[in-house]
Amino acid sequence: MTRTRTDYLWIATFAVLVALAVPWFLWGDSRVFAGLPLWLWWHIGWMLLTAAVFHLFTRRAWDRGMGEVSN
């Protein structure tokens, strides 16, 4: 995969993570699982997923764009 294509893939990945961080579709939902509302479980799972993706990003693409000089 080319560097530019990889950059766009990371940008799209983080855009999806941000866009789905707030579970709009669970607003007004009163379901409970293990004593906690479903929307709270969504946030817990989403934070775990986001942490895993950010860890992967730091291992593979942290230096993207570093050292490049633009005029």
pLDDT of residue 71: 53
Q: Number of structural domains, the chain?
A: 1
Q: Is the pLDDT of residue 57 over 70?
A: yes
The answer to whether 39 touches 25, Cβ cutoff 8 Å, is no
Helices (H), the chain: 3-19, 38-60
pTM over 0.85, yes/no: no
Condensed to tens digits (0 to 9), the pLDDT of residues 17-28 reads 999 998 888 888
36 beta partners: 33
Which range of residues forms the domain containing residue 53? 3-60
Residue 36 is inside which H or E element, if any?
Answer: strand 36-37
21 lies in some domain: yes
Tokens of 17: 């993570």
70 lies in some domain: no
37 lies in some domain: yes
pLDDT of residue 54: 93
